[in-house]
Amino acid sequence: MTGYAPGMDAPAEYGAVPESALYSHDAEYALIGSMIHQPELIDDAGGRLTVGDFHHPACAELYELLLALRSKEAGIDVVTLSDARSHLADGQSTLSVAANIAHNTPSAANFTAYGKIVKQRSVARRVIAAAQIMSQRLIDGESLDEVLAQGQQAWMALEAEGLDSRRRYRFVKDILPEAIDGIDRRFNRTVSLGFDTGLPSLDEFIPGLCPGHMVVVAGAPGSGKTTLGLGIAERVALVKKVPALVFSLEMTDVELTNRSLASVGSVQLKHISEGHSMADSDWPGLTSAVNLLDEAPLIFCDDSSLTLRDIRQICRTVKREHGLGIVAVDYIGLINGESKSSSRYEQVTDISKGLKRLAKELGVPVVVLAQLNRGPNSRANKRPTKSDLRDSGQIEADADVVVLVHRDGETDAGKAGVTELIVDKNRHGPCGTCRVQHQGAYHRFVELVGNPFPSNEEVEMSRPGRSFAKTYKGRKDHA
């Protein structure tokens, strides 16, 4: 069958348009005819094609009718189509057009191939349309960076739509070899489950920061959440030699670098910041840290005006040009929303969903830092829970892992830097709490050596509200 089907006039706006890479009317006719012959095929088509995927208006209108009748579980043939709508928008008889298409479709055997052609040509038309829109925006004076960022999103969406739908799902029998191979390689330690945090007590709960996972590290201001997030990124870059990209909307890249120098070189950050207070004993550590960091694929971005779209674009660029192992974002509450008309709650909700999608798209773990609300301050038990996450409950919903950083400054333990890392959500492992040592002078966490202080659970149970420190002091004096 070539050209237009018998009884189907070419739309005046197209004229006698020849077959091209942008559409195939023959495939559209055959697809509609196949569904008239075998209505059960409508279900398959409905999962892959929309009315807008059809180039010929009459085919689009017939497809819409077929979907409507199928949803009503009505019988489908040329008569029922005509009964549902006697004439098409162009004035032709529905019965005549549908009968001609059905008559010229001898078999539905190649239905899948027809559908693939129709979908791919539809995507091709939208690629052309997107390019035209981008060109017009540039002509209208929009910045190149913004137009390219919008274009990237459009290309990614169109690329996904152009995929054969059969590639979007797999039978378990096809997945098993990959799963068994992964178990075997992890058993033989030829590959790890994911990146470790550098804190063995925390790794007991999180055996690996895995590709596609969104890990939320939350805490009150000054609790050490930035220290933990940066420390994880440093470890990936220094130990695993894999690029780690850190977005900081709070600090400059020089401030972040100074923190890394302090952490890696065991030099007090105060000495590095002041400069004049550097002691002779500090210089070897600083020199060692400079040498290590100079070779580390640790990447900082300190643009405080970032939107999620900017973060996505930078991540894709870094991955394409350098490779990418992990992303850390400090912190979600400072990311600018795309829509100025939305509430901040709605903006953060969209940003959280976007970061989770970004982790899956890039195939890397994304560590997202977040603030806690003031809820714990008003409770007798000051230990936070995941429900205390600030800005949006979507953050908790999207997270694969939630780690809450808690240090009670009213206790001797807290004053000494003893910090609880509370794993309050873990989709792939146990929840629980570990205690680590915050070395504030060096801006890093290390394992807690010995156990000189009671656990926070014991302290919380020993006193209500803010009498916590006095109770502990009294216990200590009594002893």
CATH number of domain containing 48: 1.10.860.10
* 463 vs 323, residue with greater confidence: 323
- Shared domain for 162 and 253, answered yes or no, is no
Mean pLDDT computed over every residue of the chain: 82
Give, in degrees to the nearest 5, the angle at Cα 160 between 155 and 162: 90
Verify that 330 and 228 share a domain, yes or no: yes
Identify the domain boundary among 106, 134, 169.
169
| Among 66-75, 154-163, 435-444, the least confident range | 154-163
Cβ atoms 270, 323 nearer than 8 A:
no
Where residue 450 falls among pLDDT bands split at 50, 70, 90? low
pLDDT band at 434 (very low <50, low <70, confident <90, very high): very high
Query: Model confidence at 452, in pLDDT bands (50, 70, 90)?
Result: low
Q: Do 306 and 371 belong together in one domain?
A: yes
The two tokens of residue 127 are 């690629």
Q: Are residues 272 and 136 in the same domain?
A: no
Q: Are 94 and 82 in contact (CB under 8 A)?
A: yes
Asked whether residue 78 is assigned to any structural domain, the reply reads yes
CA distance 382 to 380: 6
Tokens of 162: 């152009």
CA-based nearest residue to 437, from 407, 458, 462: 407
Q: Tell me the pLDDT tens digit for each residue of 179-221.
A: 888 788 877 777 667 888 889 999 889 878 889 999 999 988 8
Rounded to whole angstroms, the Cα distance separating 102 from 29 reads 8
In a domain, 151, yes or no: yes
Q: Which residue's entry shows tokens 């060692």?
A: 288
Contact 174/420 with Cβ under 8 angstroms? no
Which of the four pLDDT bands, split at 50, 70 and 90, describes residue 167? Answer: low
In a domain, 31, yes or no: yes
What are the tens digits of pLDDT across the range 28-72?
999 999 999 998 888 877 767 889 889 999 999 999 999 888 888
User: Last residue of some domain: 169, 203, 230?
Assistant: 169
Q: Write down the residue that tokens 């929840």 correspond to.
A: 431
* DSSP code of residue 374: S
Answer whether residue 169 shows pLDDT above 70: no
What pLDDT does residue 305 have?
85
Residue 447, domain CATH: 3.40.50.300
Residues 127 and 208 grouped into a single domain = no
309/422: higher pLDDT:
422
The string of pLDDT tens digits covering residues 220-271 is: 888 889 999 999 999 999 999 999 999 999 889 899 999 999 999 999 999 9
User: Residue 162 pLDDT > 70, yes or no?
Assistant: no
Q: Provide the 8-state DSSP code for 19.
A: P
d(CA 103, CA 183): 54
A 10 A CB-CB count for 200 gives 11
Q: Amino acid identity, residue 76?
A: I
Which range scores top for mean pLDDT: 6-10, 101-105, 182-186, 373-377?
Answer: 101-105
pLDDT given at position 11: 45
Report the pLDDT averaged over residues 426-432.
90
Closest listed residue to residue 118, CA positions, set 50, 168, 65? 50
Q: Do residue 119 and residue 199 come from a single domain?
A: no
User: What is the pLDDT, as a whole number, of residue 451?
Assistant: 57
Highest-confidence range of 106-110, 275-279, 464-468, by mean pLDDT? 275-279
Report the pLDDT value the prediction gives residue 292, as an integer from 0 to 100. Answer: 92
Residues 337 and 428 both lie in one domain: yes
CA-to-CA distance for 225 and 369, rounded, in angstroms? 7
**Please, which pLDDT band fits residue 467 given cuts at 50, 70 and 90?**
very low
Contacts of 274 (CB under 8 A, 6+ apart): none
pLDDT, one tens digit per residue, over 327-368 is 999 889 899 887 777 788 888 888 999 899 999 988 999 999
Would 176 be classed as within a structural domain? Answer: no
Please indicate, yes or no, whether residues 50 and 97 belong to a single structural domain of this protein.
Answer: yes
Whether the model pTM is above 0.75:
no
Burial bucket for residue 159 (CB in 10 Å: 0-12, 13-18, 19+): exposed
Q: What is the CA radius of gyration of the chain?
A: 30
Count structural domains, the chain.
Answer: 2
The answer to whether residues 427 and 398 touch, using CB atoms and an 8 Å cutoff, is no
**What b/e sequence results for 110-129 when a residue is b if at least 16 CB atoms lie within 10 Å of its CB, and e otherwise?**
ebbebbbbbbbbbbbbbbee
Helix (H) or strand (E) run with residue 371 in it: strand 366-371
Q: Are 259 and 269 in contact, with CB atoms under 8 Å apart?
A: yes
If pLDDT is split at 50, 70 and 90, which confidence band does 113 have?
A: confident
* Residue ranges making up the domain that contains 275: 193-478
Does a structural domain hold residue 181? no
Query: Residue 474 pLDDT > 90, yes or no?
Result: no
Alpha-carbon distance 371 to 349, whole Å? Answer: 14
- pLDDT, tens digit, 9 for 90 and up, residues 114-160: 888 888 888 888 888 888 888 888 888 888 777 776 676 666 665 55
Q: Which own/partner contact pairs does 466-475 have at CB distance under 8 Å and 24+ positions apart?
A: 466/410, 468/382, 468/408, 468/410, 468/411, 469/410, 469/411, 469/412, 472/411, 472/412, 473/412
Residue 25 has pLDDT above 70, yes or no: yes
Same domain, 92 and 205: no
Same domain, 111 and 218: no
Instruction: Write down the pLDDT at residue 327.
Output: 96
Tell me whether residue 178 is in a domain. no
DSSP codes of every residue in 49-79: --GGG-SSHHHHHHHHHHHHHHHTT---SHH
Among the listed residues 47, 45, 48, the one whose alpha carbon sits nearest the alpha carbon of residue 62: 45
Q: Assess whether 322 and 453 both reside in one domain.
A: yes
Task: Note the pLDDT of residue 161.
Answer: 56
pLDDT for res 247: 94
| Together in a domain, 156 and 216 | no
User: What does residue 265 show for φ and ψ, rounded to 5 degrees?
Assistant: -95, 0
Quick check: is 354 in a domain?
yes
454: in domain: yes
